[in-house]
Amino acid sequence: MWWKLTSVILLLYTILAGFLVPLKSGIERVEPNTARTGEQVTVRFYGYNTFFSRPSEVPIRVWLYYNSSYALMADVVRPINDTILEATFRMPINLPEGKPFVLLNALADHPTEGASILPIAFTLHQTPGSTQIPLDSAWTARPVEKLHPQKGFSFPYQNILYETIRNTYFHVPMWFVLLFLFAASVWYSLKYLRHPETEYDRRAAAYAEVGILFGLMGLASGMVWATYTWGKPWSNDIKQLMTAVALLIYFAYFVLRGSFSDPEKSARLAAVYNVFAFASLIPLLYILPRMFDSLHPGATGNPAFGSQDLDNTMRAVFYPAVVGWTLLGFWIADLRIRFQRLKDRTLGLD
Amino acid sequence: MARRILTFLLWVGISLPAAFAEGNRDFMRETGKIYVVVVTLLVIFLGIVGYLVRLERKLTKLEHLSKDDA
């Protein structure tokens, strides 16, 4: 009983914290986002959750920077309102390393509200015929320094994602629950193979069934998320494809169970099949997707949940979310097991 | 069965919000796309409820079965 209560409390916390904790401020876009060397340009910064017009003793500082050594600071910064800011730059006469163009990151630093960055926000092109060496001193005159951290408990701002970063607490735990349920399923399948008792088979089947439910909810919620971030529900992303394959393998488990009239034979073969299904689940969900380019975080060899996807504020919600959803999954599976036990006894099969 | 569940969840999650998006405003992309999170949670909620309804129907059938026996 205690664990069911824990599940409810953790999920309540997940939903409340997941929705109520604000997002850090960020820069959505800058306009214009391109210029030529030697020009004087007024760039508009469009912020998200920013407080550009909040008064402060020191003015807001704004940069367009190439890397830690080359940065351009705005000469004039004029906040229009909390989310729009105008910054006037005098572009240097040439570019670092003699490049034809450079991609610059946008940075706005408010003395009390903290700094926000938009990577690769601006393109600066070299005007033909003025590539003379040495490099314009504007690149190094006022480097990015003494930034102010954003205070308070808040989730990271990421372009494209915006508030949907909160889906980390709802979409991602589905896959954790699926893994735990399928692991429980294979555990009871192995137990059944050692001691063929109906109870073990019942449990294996119920955990697999509820695991599939969470897989379907994970797939559907992922497709909703993808529609508004990747642009379409299904992008044939390697992780999407492999997940679909894994779920089909588990569907086959139930097809196999249903195709024998002898319950003992059915249970035995299903248990063997379940071991192979679980063995294929691991490469399908956790190894193959990392070997190919993917839209998902954690592709091409990077572990998922690096510091860019999940910071400490998010961990404080994400881990309770995983535990909460997992307990809920086992609760539902528990109901399924108890139903099957009752049914088997009523039909005289146990 | 699983295909029907998935189809229903996707209809709720993708087609329905897209229908509201017709016209000039796309409410799913307003206010920092927060409604995407709401719909995601809705999809999960309906998935669980759908499963519980299915389980209840089976239970009802079993109750009738044991009543017939008695």
Domains, chain A, ranges and CATH?
Answer: 26-141 (2.60.40.10), 162-346 (no CATH)
For B18-70, write each residue's pLDDT tens digit: 777 666 567 777 778 888 999 999 999 999 999 999 999 999 999 888 777 65
d(CA A61, CA B36): 34
Contact yes or no for A346 and B62 at CB 8 A: yes
Which of B5, B20, B35, B41 to substitute to test the interface with A, most A CBs within 10 Å? B41
**Alpha-carbon torsion angle B29, A299, A245, A326, nearest 10:** -70
pLDDT at A232: 87
**Nearest-CA residue of chain A relative to B41?**
A170
- Is 80 exceeded by the pLDDT of residue A71? yes
**Judging by beta carbons within 10 Å of its beta carbon (0-12, 13-18, 19+), is residue B17 exposed, middle or buried?**
buried
Contact list in A for residue B65 (CB cut-off 8 A) is 346
Number of H helices, E strands in chain B: 3, 0
Q: How many CA atoms lie within 13 A of A79 on its CB side?
A: 17
How confident is the model at residue A160, as a pLDDT? 82
pLDDT at A307 over 60: no
Check residues A293 and A280 and name the one with the higher pLDDT: A280
Render pLDDT for A211-261 as a digit per residue (tens, 0 to 9). Answer: 999 999 999 999 999 998 888 888 888 889 999 999 999 999 999 998 988
Q: What is the pLDDT of residue A304?
A: 53
A65 vs B3, more confident? A65
Spatial CA neighbour of A48 closest among B29, B37, B14: B29
Q: Residue B18 is part of which domain span?
A: 2-69
Which helix (H) or strand (E) segment holds residue A85: the answer is strand A84-90
> Nearest residue on chain A to B28, judged by CA atoms?
A228
Residue B57 CA to chain centroid, in angstroms? 17
Mean pLDDT of A269-292: 89
Nearest chain B residue to A332 by CA distance is B52
For residues B64 and B67, what is the distance between their CA atoms, to the nearest angstrom? 5
Domain count within chain B: 1
CB-CB under 8 Å, B33 with A221: no
Q: Which residue from A minimizes the CA distance to B56?
A: A339
Handedness of CA A236, A237, A242, A248 (dihedral sign): negative
- Per-residue model confidence as pLDDT tens digits over A75-123: 999 999 989 999 999 998 888 888 889 999 999 998 888 888 898 889 9
CB A210 within 8 A of CB A336: yes
Interchain pair A216, B41: CB under 8 A: no
Quick check: B62 and A339 CB within 8 A? yes
Q: Alpha-carbon distance A101 to A271, whole Å?
A: 61
What pLDDT was estimated at residue B25?
A: 67
Measured CA distances, A144 to A26, A67, A74, A107, A190 (Å): 17, 9, 11, 9, 60
Distance from the B36 Cα atom to the nearest Cα atom in chain A, whole angstroms: 6
Distance from CA of B53 to the nearest CA of A (A): 12
Joined tokens for residue A336:
């399924």
